[in-house]
Every structure is written in structure tokens, then in C-alpha cells.
Amino acid sequence: MFFQSKKLPHPVELRDPVHGYIHIEDKVILDLINSKEFQRLRRIKQLGPTSYVFPGANHTRFEHNLGVYELTRRICEIFSKQYPSTKPNDGLWNENENLVAECAALLHDIGHGPYSHTFEHLFGTNHEKIGTQIITDKSTEINQILSKVAPTFPEAVASVIAKTYPNPQVVKMISSQADADRMDYLQRDAYFTGVTYGSFDIERLLRVIRPYSGGICFTNNGMHAVEDYIVSRYQMYQQVYFHRINRSLEVVLNKLLERAKYVYKNSNLLVTPSLQKFLDNNWTLKDYLNLDDGVMETNFSIWRESGDEILADLASRYLFRKPFASCSVDQETRNLVPKLKNYIKEAGFDPNYYTALTSAFDEPYDAYKPSGKNAHSQIEIMQDDGTLIELSELSPLVKALNGTIQGSENFFFPKVMLSKNDEPQIFDPLYQEFQKYVKNGALRYQRKPTRKNNLNNQ
């Protein structure tokens, strides 16, 4: 079953610094963008606390969703012109799929709320399920707009996002190792952070992408463009997504919300109405849609005046960018963590709220791993004779990268523990003891005997 939309009398064009313009030709697309549920994405940052490290990174999920839509629209346009299907199962593109692909692209992240990762962890929400609900629940403007196309259209769109839509070409366009989603966020995050490493030749990628019976792949004259895209992705992970201070502020946020739950349960806490429903564990979709970054930060600001010292302090730390310090931890040194927590406790900090041990594997990004659970979404290069070869078999560079992305484990703690005694403080001896275990940003064992030897030798 295929879906058609009314065309707009005049195309609408939104200025976008990454793609130039977002072109809107279908009435349903414009209506979706103008819906309450979509407009709300303007108030949710794409990269959460990353703007604390890269000040330009204030871009929102609103723009990213527009960008994914635009790339999908361009791919559909190219596919419809260059690879039009002429008979069933010829492995080419049926332009009747354009509308469902574009709507799914636009709405693929519609379920996200503020600080999704952390919020979901603490309040048991799930942005994918909520996304499906926003699309299929009759109460939403989005559902009503989609239903005007056809009663079954909302379900079709939702199934693309859930990867259960029958046509794998449509699914892979939105969700695979080189999909419109990743292409947009890498370019966009690079643009707004100012990190030049993230750029790659998107015009070229759009020229060499093509459909095949199992999904989408790339023609072999585009191998180097795909390789460049993979390298850019690797660099963005190393430079931006896994940045230590970024991760540190995620920890602060996590502890702050944890403490807020504790204080709310055990005493009084002033909270704005919609967030209160989540603390009461009694929320509806409408409450979820009332949340955004500003609501969360407004609560943090209010909590600075709550009587609870830990909550007030953590709120200030998040609002005014006072990240925890951190050091890397490995298999061997992980055993030292309890000892360090003791020092931190002695220095007056509750270790439950002022320390954390996390690894970058917790991050919501998945790197290029052709094997394992993402195997089905690996990148294929089509040879002249139509056979497909997986990218890392052709590119030694990509092969090398597959082995190099590794999560690093980090221990987070109050920065004051690293303070030097140029401004003497009461806990100085404690700090000095603590600092013996941290060198060059890594946790390490003290090697007293070796030192003694060294001193003797001098």
C-alpha cells in the first residue's frame, strides 16, 4: 500500500546552515513541522551538556530532524530519477515509498525528551516507545496529521522507525551504519562545535549511494567518500562525544536527578507541575511532552534554594559548569577506587553523589562494528558486476578503525581533590595523599619502594 500527499501550492524553504535549505513540497511535511509535538524539539539540545565543552553546540533536535528529513528527501529524489523500479522485486526504488520514508525521517527522534539518556535511566522512560506513541496515539497533532493521508499511515511511519516496515531500502535509509541520521548528525555536530574533523563530502556520498534488493549500498567509485565518512565518525567520537568533560557533566546531571528523587521522597521539594508527575511516578504522554531542557534547568535553579545542601550544590555545579575531575581506570587499578572513595568521604563528600565510575560504552552512540548485533547494518560496496563487498574488506583504513575504538573507563570525583596548596586549605594533607594515586590523568598504584630507591640513588 502506498501513500500520497497533497503538494503545497508553493514549496517552502527553511534556511539551514548545514544543508543550505530544507525543501518542503508536501503539505503533510509542513503540517508535521508545525505541530506542537514537533515544535517542542526546539527546546531540546541535540548534544545535551556538550555545549559546556564546545560553546557553539546549542543546536537542537528540531534542526537535526529537519536535516535527516532533507537528506532523505534528496536520496529519494536521486533514487527516483536514477534507479526507478520498473517491476516488482527488481531491487530498485519505488518512488511511492518517498512519502513514508520522508515522514519517518522527520519523526525518527520525535520521542526524545531532555537529556534522554540520563532521564530514561532515572525515570524509566523510553524514547523509542514514546516516539511510537506520539505517532500512533490519536491524541496527538502528529497522529491527526498523518491520519489525514490514510488511516494506516501512522502505523506505516512508526514501523519504519521500528525497523519492521517490509521494504528494507526504506528502513536502511533511516537506520544503518551510513544512514541519513548519522550523515546529518556528524555534519551538524561538526558545524556547531566547530570541530573541522567531522566534515566529509556529503554531496559525493549522495551521488554514490544506491538501492539494492537488501537495502542500500554504495557504488564502488564512491569507496573513498565512504571511507572518509567513517574516519570523520571516528574522529567525532574521539574528539566530541567521548570528551571527558562532556561525560563528567553527564555524571553531575545523573547525580543531581538521583538526589532530587531522594529529597522529594523524604521531604519537601518545590518542583514544576510536569516534572512532579515523574517524581510521583504517575505521568502521562502529555506530561512528557511538557518537558524540555528549560523546564529541567528551571527546576535545577529552584532547587539551588532547597534546604538540601547536596541537591543545591549539585544543581549549581550543573548550571554553572563545575564538572567533576576524572582519571582513567583500567582492570588493574580499578581495585583502588574504594580507597579513593574513602579519601573523598573524609574530605566531606558523600561518595554516593560525588563519585562515579563509568565507561564510554554507556554512551548512546554505537561505533562501526560490522560483526555482532549491528551486522545487519554494515556498509556494502557494489562492484561493477553487482556483487557486494563489505567495506572493511576493501579499506585497510576502515579495517584498522574497527579495532581502535575502545571505551575508556573513568572515575569521577570533586576537582578540589586535585588542588595544590598554593592556597592552603584545611584538607590539604588529605588531598596530597589522594593525589599520589593520580598521574597524567590516570589512576595508578603508588610505587613507594621504587621512589625510595630513587631517592637513595640521588
**Maximum C-alpha span of the chain:** 87
Phi, psi of 70 (to 5 degrees): -65, -45
Confirm or reject binding of residue 239 to a copy of itself (CB under 8 A).
Answer: yes
HSE value, Cβ hemisphere, 13 Å, CA-based, for 204: 13
Confirm or reject binding of residue 280 to a copy of itself (CB under 8 A).
Answer: no
Looking at the Cβ atoms of 376 and 436, the one nearer to a copy of itself is 436
Looking at the Cβ atoms of 21 and 361, the one nearer to a copy of itself is 21
Confirm or reject binding of residue 305 to a copy of itself (CB under 8 A).
Answer: yes
Stretch that binds a copy of itself, among 103-111, 229-237, 336-344, 360-368 (CB under 8 A): 229-237
**Binds a copy of itself (CB under 8 A): choice among 4, 39, 421, 446:** 39
Q: Quick count: other Cβ atoms within 10 Å of Cβ 386? A: 8
**Burial environment of residue 201 by CB neighbours within 10 A (0 to 12, 13 to 18, 19 or more):** middle
Confirm or reject binding of residue 316 to a copy of itself (CB under 8 A).
Answer: yes
DSSP E strands, 297-355: 325-329
**Binds a copy of itself (CB under 8 A): choice among 3, 5, 47, 60:** 60
* CB contact burial 182-197 (16+ within 10 A = b; e otherwise): bbbbbbbbbbbbebeb
Stretch that binds a copy of itself, among 36-44, 324-332, 364-372, 443-451 (CB under 8 A): 36-44
Q: To the nearest whole angstrom, how small is the minimum distance from the Cβ of residue 146 to a copy of itself?
A: 18
Confirm or reject binding of residue 142 to a copy of itself (CB under 8 A).
Answer: no
Q: To the nearest whole angstrom, how small is the minimum distance from the Cβ of residue 395 to a copy of itself?
A: 8
**Binds a copy of itself (CB under 8 A): choice among 122, 312, 337, 397:** 397
Q: Which of residues 4-33 bind a copy of itself (CB under 8 A)?
A: 13-18, 20-21
Q: To the nearest whole angstrom, how small is the minimum distance from the Cβ of residue 79 to a copy of itself?
A: 15
Distance of CA 424 to the CA centre of its chain: 41
Confirm or reject binding of residue 408 to a copy of itself (CB under 8 A).
Answer: no
Q: Which of residues 334-393 bind a copy of itself (CB under 8 A)?
A: 383-385
Instruction: Give the residue among 408, 411, 409, 410 at the shortest CA–CA distance from 340.
Output: 411
- The CA-atom distances, in angstroms, between 179 and each of 108, 208, 289, 457 are 12, 13, 27, 61
Q: To the nearest whole angstrom, how small is the minimum distance from the Cβ of residue 141 to a copy of itself?
A: 9
Residues sharing a CB contact under 8 Å with residue 368, sequence separation 6 or more, in sequence order = 177, 230, 233, 234, 379, 398, 401, 402, 405
Confirm or reject binding of residue 78 to a copy of itself (CB under 8 A).
Answer: no
Looking at the Cβ atoms of 88 and 309, the one nearer to a copy of itself is 309
Instruction: Give the residue among 353, 345, 278 at the shortest CA–CA distance from 309.
Output: 353
